[in-house]
Amino acid sequence: MSLNLWSIWWPTYAILHNYNLVQTNYILFPIYTNVFPLISLPTSLVYGLLRPIFGPILAYNLILPLFGFLNAFSIYIFFSKYLNNPYFAALGAGVVAFNPITYEIAQQSELPLLAIFVIPICLLSFERFLNTPRSLNGVIAGLALYLVIITSIYFWTLILTVLLPYVIYRLYQRRFGWRSLRPALWGSILFLLLLFIFPINVIIGSSVLHRYSPLVALQGQLYSLSPFLAVMLIVAALALRWGSHDQESSKITRYLVGFILVTNLLCFILPTLSPLNLSGILSLSGTIHVSEFLLPIIAVAVLLVLRRIEAHKEAITPKRLWISLLTLVLVSQWWIPLASTTVPQLNYYEILAREPEDYVIADYPVGIVTSAEQLSIPMESAVSDAQQIGSSFRAAATLLSEPFHQKRLIGGVALYLRPDDILPYKINPLLRILTAQPVSEDLQVLAQKFRDASLRWRVGYIFVHTDVLDSESLSFIHQWLTWTNVYCYVTLENQVEIWRARWNPAGCGPSTFSIGDPNARMMLGAGWYGEEKWDQTSVRWAGQQTDSHLSFWITPQADFQMKLQIYSTANEQQSLVVKANGETLGKVALTKDWHDYLFLLPRRLISMSQGLVSLELIHDQTFSIEGRELTAAYGTMTLEEEHP
C-alpha cells in the first residue's frame, strides 16, 4: 500500500515541482533510485485531479471503484461488438472486470495494474480505425496505444501477447491492404514521437534498470493459486475448449485464441520467458504482476462461451441463469471486504507541506526494506545484504507519510539496491543512529559527524515514534538529541515527538539544558548525583567531589551568555569557578537558595573545539547532607547569543 500510494502521488508532484520523474532521492535519501517501473502517469493524473477535491486519502480510495467501473464499462463496449445481447455483454464484462485476479490486485492496492480498461480502449480505437480508416482515427489509435504504454510497464507484454495478434487477426479478417493502412501512419509517427519523449529515454538512460527494479513483487506474491482462482481457471479452460468448438469459429479465430492462450499462459507460468525479462527491462517472477496474463485468457473464454450460449438460447433457463450468476459472484471473491491500511497522518504534516523548502525528514526509528527481500527469485549473492537495514518494520509506514508532508525521506520501502547504494546507511553516523544500528565509535566524533550531516543534508525534522520504541531506545535518542543540540523539541502528536533542526527558520529559541532531566545524562561527566524533582522542577545535585563536569554542543556563531540556575544550601560563602575548554570563564560566590549566575562564553573557545564545550564547575568545598557529599544543585543552563 505504502509504495503504491507513493508511486501514484509522486509523478504529479515531480512534474509540478520540476523534479526528475524517474531518478529520485525523495525516498531513501541520500540515495538516488530508479522508480520508473512504479510510475503510471494516467493513474497519477486521476489522483492529481481528485486529491485537491477529496483530500489525499479519499482521492486514493476513489480510484479503485473508478477503475473498476471503467474496466467493466470498456469491456462491455468491446464485448458488445461481438455479442448481440447487451445483457450477455454486461455479464461478460462483469466476469472479466470482477474476478479473483482483479480482486487480488485491488487487495494489494496495485491501482496501475487494475487499469486494464486501457486494453479494450486500445482495441476499440483500432476497431474504429478499421471501420473508418481515416488519419484522425489513426492518431486516436496511436494515442490509445501510448496510453497502454504509460499506464503500466507490466502491460507492455500484453501488447505483444494480446494487442498485436488481435490487430493481425483483424487485418487478415478484413483483408486490409497496406495501402489502406496509410492513414494510420500519422498515428504511428505520433506514437513514436511520444515514445521517444517518454519512456524510451528512461529505458536507454537506465541500461541497468532491471537491476534496480524487481519491485515487481512488493507484497505481491500470488500465494500459489487461490482456490477461487483455481476454480476460475479450470472453468476458463473448459469454456475455451467448449467455446472454440463452435461451428461458426473460423480456423484463424482458433489460431488467435490458441496464441493468446498459449503465450499468456507461458508468461504466467514461466515469467522469466516474458519479453520484459528477456529484454532485461524488468524482472517478473511469480508475483501479482504476472497475474495480468490470466486476464486475457479469462476474457477470451468468457467471450467464446457467451457467443456459443447466445447461439443456443434455448439452453438458457431462469434457474440456470441465476445459479450461474450466483456462482460467478461467489467465485469472484469481490464479496470479501478489501483490507484497509492505517495511514500515519499527523496534523503537523500539513505544516511541513506548507514550508517552502524540500528538506529532508527523518523518522526514528527508521529502516529500509527492499522489494528484493520479499522476492523469491534468485538474487546475485553480492546484493543479499542490501535487503534490510535498520528498523525495517517501520519502512512502509515511513514511506506512507511522504505523500502527506511531501518532503524527502530517510529510509522507507526501497527499490532494488546494490551494496554500493546502501553504503551511506552503513557508514554515516546520522543514518546509523536513525536506523537504530549499533554504533561503536567515540561518541564525540560521532556527535560531530551527526551534527555535520544533519546540516549538510538539511535534515529539517526528526519524528520520534515513541509508541514503537522501548524505554532504552527512547532514552538514548532523547539524550543524544539533547547533547548534540542540533534539534529542539517542538511538540508531541499521536505519540510522535517532533524535533526541529536549529537551522530551520521556524526557530528554536535559546539552547536550554535541563541538567536535572534524565535526557541530560549524556551531557554529564564526573561529579553528579541522580535526577530529582522539586515541585515539578528537574534538579540534579553536583557533588561526590568538588569538581563537576558536563559537556554540550553549540554552533560557535557568537559569544554566548551562559546562565546557570544554581541552588546552594550553604549558609557561609561558597565559591564556584567555571571553566570552559580549560579556560576560566569566571568565579562567583554562590548564595543560599536558587539564583541565576551569568558567565560569558566566548565564541573563540567554542570554535577551538569545533562546537563542543566541556564545562568544569569547580566548587571550593562539599557539604555532607544525608550521607551525600554535595556542592550545589543545578536546574537549567541557558545559552543566549551575546549581541555586541
- Residue 261 in contact with residue 290, Cβ under 8 Å? no
3-state secondary structure of 134: coil
- Quote the least distance from Cβ 356 to another protein, whole Å: 5
What is the spatial distance between Cα 56 and Cα 403, in angstroms, rounded to a whole number?
8
The interface region with another protein, picked from 34-42, 104-112, 355-363, 486-494 by CB under 8 A, is 355-363
Residue from 558, 570, 577, 588 in contact with another protein (CB under 8 A): 558
What is the spatial distance between Cα 348 and Cα 67, in angstroms, rounded to a whole number?
32
Does 353 interact with another protein (rule: CB under 8 A)?
A: no
Total residues contacting another protein by CB under 8 A comes to: 51
Residue from 58, 193, 338, 353 in contact with another protein (CB under 8 A): 193
The interface region with another protein, picked from 45-53, 554-562, 575-583, 615-623 by CB under 8 A, is 554-562
Nearer to another protein, 313 or 643 (CB): 643
CA-wise closest residue to 484 among 553, 550, 555: 553
**CA 620 to chain CA mean position, Å:** 59
- Residue 521 in contact with residue 481, Cβ under 8 Å? no
- Ranges of H-type helices in 359-442: 395-405, 419-427, 429-434
- Quote the least distance from Cβ 603 to another protein, whole Å: 7
Residue from 54, 73, 186, 623 in contact with another protein (CB under 8 A): 186
Q: Which residues of 508-537 are buried (b: 16+ CB within 10 A; e: fewer)?
A: beebebbbbbebbbbbbeebbbebeeeeee
Does 164 interact with another protein (rule: CB under 8 A)?
A: no
- Quote the least distance from Cβ 450 to another protein, whole Å: 11
3-state secondary structure of 581: coil
Does 455 interact with another protein (rule: CB under 8 A)?
A: yes
The interface region with another protein, picked from 91-99, 201-209, 566-574, 624-632 by CB under 8 A, is 201-209
> Cell numbers at residue 498, please?
517532533
- Quote the least distance from Cβ 433 to another protein, whole Å: 15
Place of cell 519523449: 197
- The DSSP secondary structure of 319-342, one letter per residue, reads HHHHHHHHHHHHHH-TTSPPP---
Using the Cα atoms of residue 243, residue 244, residue 246 and residue 250 in order, give the sign of their dihedral.
positive
What is the spatial distance between Cα 32 and Cα 567, in angstroms, rounded to a whole number?
53
Question: Which bin fits 253, alpha (ψ -120 to 50), beta or left (φ > 0)?
Answer: alpha
Q: Which of residues 207-266 bind another protein (CB under 8 A)?
A: 207
Q: 435 Cβ partners below 8 Å, 6+ apart?
A: 365, 366, 367, 368, 389, 390, 391, 411, 425
The contact pattern for another protein, residues 578-617, with x = CB under 8 A and - = no contact, is -------------------------xx--xx-x-------
The interface region with another protein, picked from 24-32, 167-175, 333-341, 412-420 by CB under 8 A, is 24-32
Nearer to another protein, 259 or 426 (CB): 426
* Count of residues making up the chain: 644
- Residue 191 in contact with residue 142, Cβ under 8 Å? yes
Q: Long-range CB contacts (< 8 A, 24+ apart) of 313-317?
A: none
Nearer to another protein, 37 or 243 (CB): 37
- Quote the least distance from Cβ 410 to another protein, whole Å: 15
- Quote the least distance from Cβ 258 to another protein, whole Å: 30
- Quote the least distance from Cβ 192 to another protein, whole Å: 5
CA-wise closest residue to 359 among 406, 414, 412, 415: 406
Q: Which of residues 118-137 bind another protein (CB under 8 A)?
A: 134-136
- Quote the least distance from Cβ 582 to another protein, whole Å: 15
- Residue 218 in contact with residue 287, Cβ under 8 Å? no
Nearer to another protein, 192 or 338 (CB): 192
Q: Which of residues 30-49 bind another protein (CB under 8 A)?
A: 32
Residue from 246, 310, 452, 640 in contact with another protein (CB under 8 A): 452
Q: Which of residues 473-512 bind another protein (CB under 8 A)?
A: 503, 505
- Quote the least distance from Cβ 70 to another protein, whole Å: 25
Q: What crossing angle do the helices spanning 41-82 and 294-311 adopt, rounded to 10°?
A: 20
Nearer to another protein, 179 or 313 (CB): 179
The interface region with another protein, picked from 48-56, 117-125, 184-192, 584-592 by CB under 8 A, is 184-192
User: DSSP letter at 198?
Assistant: T
Q: Which residues of the shown chain bind another protein in the complex (CB under 8 A)?
A: 17-20, 23-25, 32, 134-136, 182-183, 185-186, 188-190, 192-193, 196-197, 200-201, 204-205, 207, 355-359, 428, 449, 452-453, 455-458, 503, 505, 555-558, 603-604, 607-608, 610
